[in-house]
Every structure is written in structure tokens, then in C-alpha cells.
């Protein structure tokens, strides 16, 4: 039985044609293979993650003392603008698109994305846009200094008077990444709606796919609004229209509506896939089905819908009338319900499980604990009176970094470790992975937790200098920041060395339940020798049911020969 | 064993056929998703227009009392009619009648070009420019952005017309033409809303 | 027996969590700067409630989570699966309904607090078109029922009107009755204050942490904003909305005085002839744009980029004596 399905795949792997899975050169080509594109996305965006992190560490260096003494104020302002822009547009969005790209077709049993060439074009726009944004460091006047919000009128003030300035380059780079995202979203939505393998009904589709679908739907309805606002901003900046320029009769607040109509849901574009990752990783490493799978899956779509109605909570202080403040307070708080359902579901999943603290599991658990904290401070921020005190302070910075770093980046790390054996056929080094986790978790708490008291004390965000009363917590935060910078080193070392000479493991080292684990590692170009016919829902741990009818399922409860040594060392007594 | 393998290969072949057959369906689905997303840009511009119009004190620039509606109305009628013309062209193609398709597609292009020409004439005779307050800005933004879409529609049609001269090009389906036609209907619907907002609601 | 033990453990944990939540709720008052306005007191109470509930939820979830992580781990050679529990409808309904009820309650409590603050703030957008509606709104002392302390303050004396102007990068306060201008904000204690906020260039944020309130200043728009200081002392006014290069330096002091002291200060300031005040942004800009001996341009590690020049230092009746703070860089 087993030989039937494995034999032909091995033949495919043996052929050294350019697209073969073990030819590294394919990562530098205009490949249309979703797995190659996925890895291209992940590696490229990780490079930008390091760049954005470097900016953050320079900023933390400046903030270690109250005075503005390390770098000029303009440099600081440019750095926080670039930090935010790079981290969002060139790290978090693309890396999650990359993970989705790699995993979604495998998880739904498709051979590729619906539009492979469009997929490749979407990817290649990311490095182009990223480099374009970086070149703004070289133009006179430097990069944009208006924050990643690019609020007018500050973003319309052009000190050099040049047509080519940092702000224009910023808008163009964001626009290119936006076009890339829209094309990616069309691709994902079509793939998920129309390319699921026979038998995979909606409620047999993995939670990660649901989450990606929810996220990409947000891109489709939200991103065009930001594009509209960006076009108007660009026209104001270049040809002198007066949409947002108050001195010419424009309304700068309107830009904020355009911006946040997308950019708040954008947080869910990033956090939903992270939720999906948690939902995939926990059952595997706790050997238990995802608790309340249907509700968790559907709550992703609920979040997609509600998140489109909350944007004004970023604008409570922006001259919004009281009725708006109240309406959006209620909608904002409602988002806590589907998010809460997920957290409770995850806790119930690990409850009574057979947990192994592998690196992906640690990152997923750490991410969930951080998300719980961030979700609670999020409810604080939804309340109008509390928000009026803290909304432009470090409390908000702490809150959203807990979401973005604490939950999302941890989720991304969890995903990379969890699917690393699938992507490469080799196992990462568990010891380095755990070191990475400890550094990341401690670093996150050290840098982002002190930001909450700072905000409550009234330290505004985006300041290059501050009153001496804030010095203590800022020093702590800076130490945490440098620790986070350090934490990427074991990760890079782990990934590079494991990819080159890590232990070879079989197709399913985690004994996981899921379509992606039924194919070879790394998967062949066509993913499956034959398309799987799905007959049962995902996460069938403990049920001893086959997942598909036409491919033999490796014994999930047997002791596989391919079990990695590292897993065996994982013990509890 | 061989029997099992034969069965699974048969299923596989069936699925493959189904999926390949469906590629045009995928493209159509994807294109509709894209158009829905694209419509949000227009929606956001419309929302902006409404917000400005209801809050700005001096809506029209000095010396402007309103917009001329007669010529734009003719323009509108021409553009909307062209939607029916391109539908006829599509029907001809459906029946494999290439010449009918070409003639009606050409007619659509002519009507679209007439619309653009009418727009250009209107633009050149307006007493205000895009820098004339938020009214001037939004007027030129909306009509200009829509005009760009009309232009892309005409270019797409020209491309489809050209491809009809490639022998046998449209024998196995004509997704490109369907997409072009859908896009054209989309551009028309947007114009109807736009006309209502800018010209009717003064 | 097992069940009894489980119930006991859970009850003990629930009691501990409840105590911890109350303790945190009490503790939360100490995380803030001094409580110097009536509105701030309301906010601190609300925040304390949120902190208590937040702590309860956090510990309530993280406790079982950690318990499970510690006690439900697989042993070394145990490769079996856990029992396939896929869900529990009642549990799922409960953990949807309770959070829903909880957040709606919190929204309602927040709404009540907001009403009691009566900070007024910006009016509806349509009011821009209909000035008479705005006027009628002001006929009533409040557009909602404020807290007693605020009502008392409003009734004990007339509302104190102060015009606030923000620019890149300075604050100017104008007291229209005495026609006094100042770069430091002086306020009488226990009086209702009405600010009229204006911005000359970009968005700024009028944020006094000790008062717990923040409102943007929007160019081309006048925004009314009311609050009630209740504690004398010197606090800090910070620009909270990022406003460009010298944003971080755009701060000033807020001095809350007894009404007598306040009147004396006003009378004294009225006798001063207006003169240019010290302005940190203008000072730093002057330092960096004039090369030469003693210029910081040579000391800075990384040179800056071009910036919008700061507005000239405001010419005011009263300005505090300021030493230039921090070497500009």
C-alpha cells in the first residue's frame, strides 16, 4: 500500500530539472510554484524585519536617556516612520502572505494557487517596493517623517520643496505593496473558494485556511479605501489639490477615516493568520482535536465583518462627534467576543492533552498568552474615556506591539518551526529553538510591558526626548529591545544550519493530521501525486479515522521510524 | 493493488479534467472579486465627495454656480447604450459569428471614445480647475479616475478585437472578452452613480 | 473524590483570583500622575473597574492554561493521542454569552462615565452649517448630566474662558477677559474651564496627563473643550498628536492655583508688555542652522535632514523663566 503512493513521488524528487525541490537556484527565479514563492516571501520579508528591527534598536538607543542626544530629531522621526512602515508593509504582511502561499494550497489539496503567474508578480513587487522605500534615505530631505499613518497636514509639509521627496517615495512604495496585496488577495480568495480538493467541504477546511480567507477578504474591502486616500494625498502633495490641506480648505480628518477604515482591519489581516497558526500548531503538539473547531473557524469570518466597523476608535480625540465615539466604542468592544471564543477554544484544546514543549508549541503558547494580555488592554482602549487619556501615549504602543510582536511574530515563528521539516525535509535544532523562544519571550515582556505604565503616566508616543520622570521604564524597555535584537541570532543560525545539514526527517515528523503532511517533504512541484479525497474533518487526533480515502495515512498512533531524535529527547517525567 | 491503483488514477484523471475545465471559471471568479474590490476605491471617493459636499461651507469656487448638465447627459446616454452594444458583440462571439462580434465591438469602442472626447471638451471649458477647492479637486478626481477606467476599457476592447484576427483564438472559450465586457458594465454602473452625485445632486 | 478535589481547587483559585483582582483594581490608582481634575477622578474609577475585571479575566484564563501546561504533558515514550474531545456546545455558548454581556456592560459604564465628564468636545459635523444649533446647545450649561463635583464647580462661578492656540511648535494661551497672553497655562482650581482650541498649522494634541484628557486641535476648526481642575499644583501639558520635527519639545507647564492667586497672576500679567517668549524649538533650530563655534552641528553623531522652520517665538505678556533644556541634537 505505502509503496504505491510514495514511489512516484520519489521519482519526481529524483529528477534534477530546474524546478526540482532540491535546487536552491529556483528561489532566485521568476518561479510560479507557490511553495517557491512562499519561501521567497518569507526570506525576503525576514530581511526587512531585520532592517526594521535595526531602526527600532537605534530608536531605543536614543530613548535610553531623556534628552535627544544620540541622533537628530529629524532622524528619529524618520526612523520611527520607517520602522512602522517597513515592519508592517514589508515584514508582517508579506511574511504572512508567504506562509499562506506555502500552506494554503497544500492544506486544501490543490496543485497550486489559482493564478500562479499573478502570484509571482505579487511577490516580485515586494522587494521592488521595499527597495524604493529604502532609497528615500538617499534623497535630499531624507525619508518620510510623518509616521506610518502619514497624517496630513504634517505629511504635506515638504521642507525641501522637491518633487521627489521621502513622502512621495513612501506613498509610491506603499501603493505598490498595496497592489501586490490586492492581487494576492484575489488569488487567495479564488483558490480557497474554488480549488479545495473533492470532499473538503467548508467545515472540513483547516482553521488556518479559514483565517487566511478572513484576512484576505479584509484586504479586498479595506485596502482600496486606503488606496483612495493615498491617491488623494499624493495629488495634494504633488499637484496642489486641496483634499486634506487645511490652508487650501481641505479636511485633514477625512484622511484619517480613509486611513483607519483600512488600517484597523489591517491588524486583523495580520492577526487572523496568526490565530490560524495557533489553531494548527496546538492540536498537533497536544495530540487533541481543536476544541470547538467550527466556532473558531466561523469566528474568523465574524472578525472580518466586525473589524470593518470599528475604525473610528483610533479617532476618539480627532474632533469626532460624541455619537460616533459611542457607536464605535460598542462595535470595538464586540470584537472581543469572537477573539475571546478563540482563546477559550485554545485553552480547552490543550486542557487534558498530551503536550510536548517543542519549539513551535512554545511559540504558539507564548503567543496566546501575549494575545490574551493584548486583548484585555485592547478593551481598555476601546472605552472612550480611558482612550482619551492614553490614546496617543506609550500605552497604545505597548498594546499594539504586544499584538504585533507578542502574538503575531510569535505565531510566525511557531509556523516557521512547525512547517520547517515540511519545507526542507530536515529538522531544526531544538536547543537553539528553545533558546530563541526564551530570548524572544523575555525580550518582549521587557520592552513592551514597561510601555504600559509609561503611557498611563502620560508619556506621548513618537517623542525623541522626554521628561526625566519616564527614564526608569525607558531604560528597561531599551534593554528588552536589544535582547529582542539578540534573539534573532539563534534563529538565523538555526534556520541556516538546519537547512544545510539538519537531521533528515520523514514526511510527517510530528505525526500530524492534515493534507500537507501526506505528501513528501519538501513536496514535489505538483504537491500531490494524486489529489487527496477528503473524508473526515481536520484534527482527528485520537479518533483513528483516515483523513483521505485514496492516499494511505501514515499510522498516526504508531511509533514511526522517522521520529526525529530531537522529539525523543523531549521529555517530562 | 493494481485495481486500486487504476481506480485512483481514474478518479485523479476525472478531477484533473474538471479542474482544467474550471480554469476559465477561476479566472472569472477572480475577476469579479477584483472588480468588487476595485469598486471600493470608487466608493471611498464617493464617500469623500459626500462628506465634503455636506460639510464645506463654500462648496463652489467663486463665480461657479453649478455644472452644465445637458452635454454630460448625452455623454451618459452614449456610454450606457454602449453596454448593450458590447453585450450584442458578446452574443455574436458566443454564436461564433466573428464579423458581427468585430463590428459591434468596434461600435462599443467608438461610443467609449465619444464619451472620452465629450469629457475632454467639458474639462477644457470649465471655469475652475483641480486646485479650486475641494469641489474642483473631487470633480476632477472622480471624473478623471473614471475616465482612466473608460480608457483602459477601450484598450482592452482593442486588444480583444486584435485577438479575434488570430485564427481559432476564441474557439475554446473567450474569458478575455467576457472580462472586458464585465469591466465595461462595471465602468458604466460607476458612471451612473457618479453622474447622480455630481450632476444631478447639485 | 476526584470531583470534589477539583471543585475545591477551582473554588480556592477563584477566591484567590478575586482577591488579586481587587488588589490590582486598588493598585491601579497608583499608576497615574496626580489626580488633578474632576474628570480624571471619574476616569481613574473607570480604569480601576477595567483593571479589576481585566485581571480577573487574565488570571481566570491563564491559570487553567498554565495548570494544563504543567500537568497535562506527555511522558517520554507516550505517543498516544489524548481523548478526542471536539467541543462542548454549552461551554461554547457560555463563553460567547458571558464576554458579550461583559463588554456591553463595560461599554455602558464607559458611556455613563463619558456623560458625567461632560467635556463637550467637537459638535456634530452638520453644526458647521447651522450655527444657530451650536448656540442653542450652549444655552444649556451641559449637554448631559455631569458629575456632582463638576456641577458644583460650574454653578459656583461663571465658566472660565481660555483660548488655546497651537502652532509648530509652541502653545499660546489667551485669556480674553483680561486680554492676557501666556505660554504657560494658569488655571483656577475648582472652576469649570472652557477652552477654545485652535491650530494654526497642523494637528496638535491638547493633552494634560494629570487631567486625563486629550483633544486634537484641528486647523480651520474651533473645538470647545471643558474640564474642571480640582487640585493645585504644577503639571505638564504635552502635545500628544505628532506634529513634526520638534514635536517632543512642544510642551509647557500647567499651573493650577487658588482663584485668588490666579486673579493676582492675571492682573500682574496684564501689566506686562508683550515680549518674545523662550521657545525650545526655535532655540534648537537656531543652534543647528547656524554653524560655527559652539554650534551643536559639529557635535551631533548623525546630522539631521531639512525641517520646516519653527514659527517665531510667541510674543506674550507672561512667559516662565526657562533655561534651555537638553543640548539640542
Note whether residue A145 is domain-resident.
yes
Specify the DSSP element, H or E, that contains C182.
strand C180-182
The percent of residues above 90 in pLDDT, for chain A, comes to: 74
The secondary structure of C107-160, three-state, reads: HHHHHHHHHHHCCCCCCCHHHHCCHHHHHHHHHCCCCCCCCHHHHHHHHHCCCE
d(CA A215, CA A81): 25
Q: Which of A410, A441, A442, A421 is nearest to A567 (CA)?
A: A421
Q: How confident is the model at residue A568 (pLDDT cuts 50, 70, 90)?
A: very low
Phi, psi of C256 (to 5 degrees): -95, 120
CA Rg value for chain B: 22
Cell of C135: 448656540
Q: Which of C18, C44, C50 is nearest to C31 (CA)?
A: C44
Query: A223 contacts in B (CB within 8 Å)?
Result: 37
Q: Answer whether A460 sits within 8 Å of C238, measured CB to CB.
A: yes
Q: Answer whether A157 sits within 8 Å of C76, measured CB to CB.
A: no
Query: A235 contacts in B (CB within 8 Å)?
Result: 130, 137, 141
What ipTM does the predicted assembly reach? Answer: 0.90
Cβ(C90)–Cβ(A377) below 8 Å: no
- Let me know the angle formed at the C-alpha of C233 by C232 and C238, rounded to the nearest 5 degrees: 120
d(CA A367, CA A357): 14
**Which residues make Cβ contacts (< 8 Å) with residue B12, sequence separation at least 6?**
A530, A531
Give the pLDDT confidence of A464-482 residue by residue, as tens digits.
999 999 999 999 999 999 9
Q: What is the pLDDT, as a whole number, of residue B12?
A: 62
Of A251, A353, A376, the CB nearest to C54: A376
The percent of residues above 70 in pLDDT, for chain B, comes to: 90
Phi, psi of C235 (to 5 degrees): -125, -175
Note whether residue A2 is domain-resident.
no
Query: B136 contacts in A (CB within 8 Å)?
Result: 241
d(CA A52, CA A152): 24
Query: B45 contacts in A (CB within 8 Å)?
Result: 228
**What's the gap in Å between the CA of A34 and the closest CA on chain B?**
17
Listed by number, the residues of chain B in 86-145 with a beta carbon closer than 8 Å to a beta carbon of chain A are 130-131, 133-134, 136-138, 140-141, 145
Q: Answer whether C68 sits within 8 Å of A352, measured CB to CB.
A: yes
Q: Answer whether A249 sits within 8 Å of B22, measured CB to CB.
A: no
Interval A532-550 mean pLDDT: 85
Note whether residue A437 is domain-resident.
yes
Phi, psi of A107 (to 5 degrees): -70, -30
Chain A CB within 8 Å of residue B6 CB: no
Q: What is the DSSP string of C217-257?
A: E-TT--EEEEE-B-S-EEEEEEE-S--STTGGG-EEEEEEE
Beta-sheet strands, E only, within A377-516: 426-427, 503-504
Q: How many CB atoms lie within 10 A of CB C10?
A: 12
Query: A75 contacts in C (CB within 8 Å)?
Result: 302, 304-305
Q: Which residue of A has its CA nearest to C225?
A: A319
Q: What is the pLDDT, as a whole number, of residue C139?
A: 41
Q: What is the DSSP string of A468-493?
A: GGGHHHHHHHHHHHHHHHHHHHHHHH
Buried b (16+ CB within 10 A) or exposed e, C198-223: bbbbbbbbbbbbbbbbbbbbbbebeb
d(CA C157, CA C307): 45
Q: Which residue of C has its CA nearest to B52?
A: C125
- Position of cell 494575545? A371
Q: Answer whether C125 sits within 8 Å of B54, measured CB to CB.
A: yes
Note whether residue A24 is domain-resident.
no
**What's the gap in Å between the CA of A28 and the closest CA on chain C?**
36
* Number of domains forming the structure of chain A: 1
**What's the gap in Å between the CA of A182 and the closest CA on chain C?**
30
State in Å, rounded, how far the first CA of chain A is from the last one. 37
**What's the gap in Å between the CA of C125 and the closest CA on chain B?**
7
**What's the gap in Å between the CA of C273 and the closest CA on chain A?**
31
Chain A CB within 8 Å of residue B32 CB: no
Q: Answer whether A460 sits within 8 Å of C207, measured CB to CB.
A: yes
**HSE (CB half, 13 Å, CA atoms) of C301?**
10
d(CA A541, CA B44): 47
Q: Answer whether C326 sits within 8 Å of A66, measured CB to CB.
A: yes
pTM: 0.91
**Which residues make Cβ contacts (< 8 Å) with residue A76, sequence separation at least 6?**
A59, A62, A68, A464
Q: Answer whether A4 sits within 8 Å of B27, measured CB to CB.
A: no
Any idea what the CATH number is for the domain that residue A172 is in?
A: 1.20.210.10
d(CA B135, CA A69): 46
Q: Which residue of A has its CA nearest to B46?
A: A228
Helix/strand/coil for C170: strand
Note whether residue A227 is domain-resident.
yes
Q: How confident is the model at residue B18 (pLDDT cuts 50, 70, 90)?
A: low
Chain A CB within 8 Å of residue B75 CB: no
Q: How many CB atoms lie within 10 A of CB A563?
A: 17
Interval A20-48 mean pLDDT: 86
In this structure, CATH architecture of domain B24-200: Up-down Bundle (1.20)
Indicate whether B55 pLDDT > 90. Answer: no
d(CA A440, CA A450): 16
Bridge-based pairing of strands C185-188 and C251-257 is: parallel
Class of the CATH domain delimited by C154-316: mainly beta
Q: What is the pLDDT, as a whole number, of residue A20?
A: 53
Q: How confident is the model at residue A4 (pLDDT cuts 50, 70, 90)?
A: very low
Query: A538 contacts in C (CB within 8 Å)?
Result: none
d(CA A399, CA A419): 29
Listed by number, the residues of chain A in 59-78 with a beta carbon closer than 8 Å to a beta carbon of chain B are none
Q: What is the pLDDT, as a whole number, of residue C158?
A: 82
Q: Which of A389, A278, A391, A383 is nearest to A336 (CA)?
A: A383
Q: Answer whether B26 sits within 8 Å of A229, measured CB to CB.
A: no
**pLDDT: is C290 or A265 the higher one?**
A265
Q: Answer whether A318 sits within 8 Å of C57, measured CB to CB.
A: no
Q: Answer whether B45 sits within 8 Å of A228, measured CB to CB.
A: yes
Name the average pLDDT for chain A: 89
The low-confidence residues of chain C, meaning pLDDT below 50, are 124-140, 292-302, 327-329
**Which residues make Cβ contacts (< 8 Å) with residue C171, sequence separation at least 6?**
C164, C165, C183, C185, C237, C239, C250, C252
d(CA A367, CA A406): 6
- Position of cell 504602543? A397
Q: Answer whether C125 sits within 8 Å of B55, measured CB to CB.
A: yes
Chain A CB within 8 Å of residue B5 CB: yes
Q: How confident is the model at residue B8 (pLDDT cuts 50, 70, 90)?
A: low
Q: Answer whether C83 sits within 8 Å of A368, measured CB to CB.
A: no
Q: Which residue of C has its CA nearest to B58?
A: C129
Cell of C111: 458611556
Helix/strand/coil for A527: coil
Indicate whether B7 pLDDT > 80. Answer: no
Beta-sheet strands, E only, within A269-326: none
Q: Answer whether A224 sits within 8 Å of B38, measured CB to CB.
A: yes
Q: Which residue of C has its CA nearest to A559?
A: C79
Amino acid at each position: 500500500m505505502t509503496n504505491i503512493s510514495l514511489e512516484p513521488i520519489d521519482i519526481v524528487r529524483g529528477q534534477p530539472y530546474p524546478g526540482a525541490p532540491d535546487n536552491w537556484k529556483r528561489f532566485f527565479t521568476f518561479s510560479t510554484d507557490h511553495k517557491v514563492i512562499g519561501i521567497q516571501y518569507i526570506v525576503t520579508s525576514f530581511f526587512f524585519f531585520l532592517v526594521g528591527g535595526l531602526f527600532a534598536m537605534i530608536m531605543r538607543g536614543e530613548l535610553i536617556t531623556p534628552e535627544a542626544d544620540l541622533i537628530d530629531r529629524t532622524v528619529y522621526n524618520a526612523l520611527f516612520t520607517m520602522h512602522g512602515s517597513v515592519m508592517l508593509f514589508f515584514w508582517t504582511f508579506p511574511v504572512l502572505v508567504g506562509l499562506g502561499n506555502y500552506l494554503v494550497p497544500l492544506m486544501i489539496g490543490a496543485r497550486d494557487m489559482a493564478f500562479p503567474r499573478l502570484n509571482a508578480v505579487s511577490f516580485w513587487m515586494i522587494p521592488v517596493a521595499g527597495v524604493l522605500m529604502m532609497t528615500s534615505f538617499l534623497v535630499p530631505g531624507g525619508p518620510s517623517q510623518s509616521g506610518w499613518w502619514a497624517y496630513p497636514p504634517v505629511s504635506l509639509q515638504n521642507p525641501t520643496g522637491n518633487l521627489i521627496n521621502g513622502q512621495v517615495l513612501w506613498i509610491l512604495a506603499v501603493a505598490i505593496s498595496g497592489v501586490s496585496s490586492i492581487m494576492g488577495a484575489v488569488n487567495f480568495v479564488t483558490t480557497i473558494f474554488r480549488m479545495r480538493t473533492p470532499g473538503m467541504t467548508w467545515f472540513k477546511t483547516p482553521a488556518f485556511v479559514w483565517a487566511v480567507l478572513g484576512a484576505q477578504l479584509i484586504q479586498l474591502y479595506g485596502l482600496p479605501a486606503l488606496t483612495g486616500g493615498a491617491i488623494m494625498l499624493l495629488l495634494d502633495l504633488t499637484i496642489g489639490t486641496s483634499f486634506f490641506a487645511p490652508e487650501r480648505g481641505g479636511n485633514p480628518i477625512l484622511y484619517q477615516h480613509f486611513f483607519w477604515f483600512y488600517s484597523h482591519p489591517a491588524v486583523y489581516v495580520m492577526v487572523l493568520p496568526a490565530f490560524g497558526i495557533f489553531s494548527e500548531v496546538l492540536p498537533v503538539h497536544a495530540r487533541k482535536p481543536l476544541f470547538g473547531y467550527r466556532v473558531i473557524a466561523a469566528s474568523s469570518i465574524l472578525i472580518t465583518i466586525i473589524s470593518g466597523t470599528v475604525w473610528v476608535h483610533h479617532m476618539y480625540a480627532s474632533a469626532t462627534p460624541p455619537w460616533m465615539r459611542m457607536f464605535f466604542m460598542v462595535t470595538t468592544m464586540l470584537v472581543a467576543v469572537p477573539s475571546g471564543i478563540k482563546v477559550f477554544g485554545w485553552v480547552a484544546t490543550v486542557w487534558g492533552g498530551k503536550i510536548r514543549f517543542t519549539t513551535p508549541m512554545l511559540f504558539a503558547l507564548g503567543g496566546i498568552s501575549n494575545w490574551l494580555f493584548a486583548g484585555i488592554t485592547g478593551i481598555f482602549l476601546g472605552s472612550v474615556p480611558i482612550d482619551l487619556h492614553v490614546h496617543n501615549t506609550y500605552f497604545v504602543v505597548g498594546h499594539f506591539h504586544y499584538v504585533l510582536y507578542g502574538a503575531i511574530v510569535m505565531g510566525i515563528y511557531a509556523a516557521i518551526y512547525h512547517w520547517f521539516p515540511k519545507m526542507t525535509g530536515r529538522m531544526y535544532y531544538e536547543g537553539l529553538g528553545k533558546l530563541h523562544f526564551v530570548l524572544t519571550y523575555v525580550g518582549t515582556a521587557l520592552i513592551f510591558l514597561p510601555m504600559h505604565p509609561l503611557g498611563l503616566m502620560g508619556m506621548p508616543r513618537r517623542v525623541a526626548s522626554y521628561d526625566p520622570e519616564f527614564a526608569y521604564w525607558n531604560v528597561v524597555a531599551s534593554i528588552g529591545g536589544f535582547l529582542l535584537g539578540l534573539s534573532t541570532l539563534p534563529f538565523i543560525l538555526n534556520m541556516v544550519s538546519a537547512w544545510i545539514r539538519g537531521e533528515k526527517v520523514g514526511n510527517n515528523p510530528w505525526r500530524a493530521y492534515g493534507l500537507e503532511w501526506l505528501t513528501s517533504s519538501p513536496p514535489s512541484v505538483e504537491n500531490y501525486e494524486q489529489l487527496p479525497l477528503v473524508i473526515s474533518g481536520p484534527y482527528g487526533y485520537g479518533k483513528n479515522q483516515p483523513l483521505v480515502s485514496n492516499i494511505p495515512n501514515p499510522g498516526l498512533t504508531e511509533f514511526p521510524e522517522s521520529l526525529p531524535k530531537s522529539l525523543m529527547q523531549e521529555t517530562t517525567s | 493493488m493494481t485495481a486500486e491503483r487504476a481506480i485512483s488514477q481514474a478518479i485523479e484523471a476525472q478531477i484533473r479534467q474538471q479542474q482544467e475545465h474550471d480554469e476559465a471559471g477561476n479566472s472569472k471568479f477572480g475577476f469579479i472579486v477584483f472588480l468588487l474590490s476595485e469598486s471600493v476605491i470608487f466608493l471611498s471617493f464617493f464617500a469623500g465627495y459626500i462628506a465634503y459636499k455636506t460639510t464645506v461651507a463654500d462648496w463652489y469656487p467663486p463665480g461657479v454656480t453649478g455644472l452644465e448638465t445637458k452635454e454630460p447627459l448625452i455623454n451618459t446616454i452614449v456610454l450606457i447604450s454602449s453596454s448593450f452594444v458590447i453585450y450584442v458583440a458578446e452574443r455574436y462571439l458566443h454564436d461564433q459569428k466573428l464579423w458581427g462580434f468585430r463590428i459591434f465591438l468596434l461600435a462599443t469602442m467608438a461610443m467609449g471614445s465619444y464619451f472620452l472626447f465629450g469629457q475632454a471638451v467639458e474639462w477644457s471649458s470649465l471655469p475652475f480647475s483641480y486646485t479650486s477647492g475641494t469641489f474642483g479637486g473631487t470633480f476632477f478626481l472622480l471624473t478623471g479616475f473614471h475616465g482612466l477606467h473608460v480608457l483602459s476599457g477601450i484598450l482592452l476592447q482593442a486588444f480583444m478585437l486584435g485577438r479575434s484576427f488570430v485564427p481559432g483564438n476564441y474557439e475554446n472559450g473567450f474569458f478575455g472578452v467576457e472580462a472586458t465586457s464585465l469591466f465595461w458594465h462595471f465602468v458604466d454602473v460607476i458612471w451612473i452613480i457618479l453622474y447622480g452625485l455630481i450632476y444631478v445632486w447639485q | 473524590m476526584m470531583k470534589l478535589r477539583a471543585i475545591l481547587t477551582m473554588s480556592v483559585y477563584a477566591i484567590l483570583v478575586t482577591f488579586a483582582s481587587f488588589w490590582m483594581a486598588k493598585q491601579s490608582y497608583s499608576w497615574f500622575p496626580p489626580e488633578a481634575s474632576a474628570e480624571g477622578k471619574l476616569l481613574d474609577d473607570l480604569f480601576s473597574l477595567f483593571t479589576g475585571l481585566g485581571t480577573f479575566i487574565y488570571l481566570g484564563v491563564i491559570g487553567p492554561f498554565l495548570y494544563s501546561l504543567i500537568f497535562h504533558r506527555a511522558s517520554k515514550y507516550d505517543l498516544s493521542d489524548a481523548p478526542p474531545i471536539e467541543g462542548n456546545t454549552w461551554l461554547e455558548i457560555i463563553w460567547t454569552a458571558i464576554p458579550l454581556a461583559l463588554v456591553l456592560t463595560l461599554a455602558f459604564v464607559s458611556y455613563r462615565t463619558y456623560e458625567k465628564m461632560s467635556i463637550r468636545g467637537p459638535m456634530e459635523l452638520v453644526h458647521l452649517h447651522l450655527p444657530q444649533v451650536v448656540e442653542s446647545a450652549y444655552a444649556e450649561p451641559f449637554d448631559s448630566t455631569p458629575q456632582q463635583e463638576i456641577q458644583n464647580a460650574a454653578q459656583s462661578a461663571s465658566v472660565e474662558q481660555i483660548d488655546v492656540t497651537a502652532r509648530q511648535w509652541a502653545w499660546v494661551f489667551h485669556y480674553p477677559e483680561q486680554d492676557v497672553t501666556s505660554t504657560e497655562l494658569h488655571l483656577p482650581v475648582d472652576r469649570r474651564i472652557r477652552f477654545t482650541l485652535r491650530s494654526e498649522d497642523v494637528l496638535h494634541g491638547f493633552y494634560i496627563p494629570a487631567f486625563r484628557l486629550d483633544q486634537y486641535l484641528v486647523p480651520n476648526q474651533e473645538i470647545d473643550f471643558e474640564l474642571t481642575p480640582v487640585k493645585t499644583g504644577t503639571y505638564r501639558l504635552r502635545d500628544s498628536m505628532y506634529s513634526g520635527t520638534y514635536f517632543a519639545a512642544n510642551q509647557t507647564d500647567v499651573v493650577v492655583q487658588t482663584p485668588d492667586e490666579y486673579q493676582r497672576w492675571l492682573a500682574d500679567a496684564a501689566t506686562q508688555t508683550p515680549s518674545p517668549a523662550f521657545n525650545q524649538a526655535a532655540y534648537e533650530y537656531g543652534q543647528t542652522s547656524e554653524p560655527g563655534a559652539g554650534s551643536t552641528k559639529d557635535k551631533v553623531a548623525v546630522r539631521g535632514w531639512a525641517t520646516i522652520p519653527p514659527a517665531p517665538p510667541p510674543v506674550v505678556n507672561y512667559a516662565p523663566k526657562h533655561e534651555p533644556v537638553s543640548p539640542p541634537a
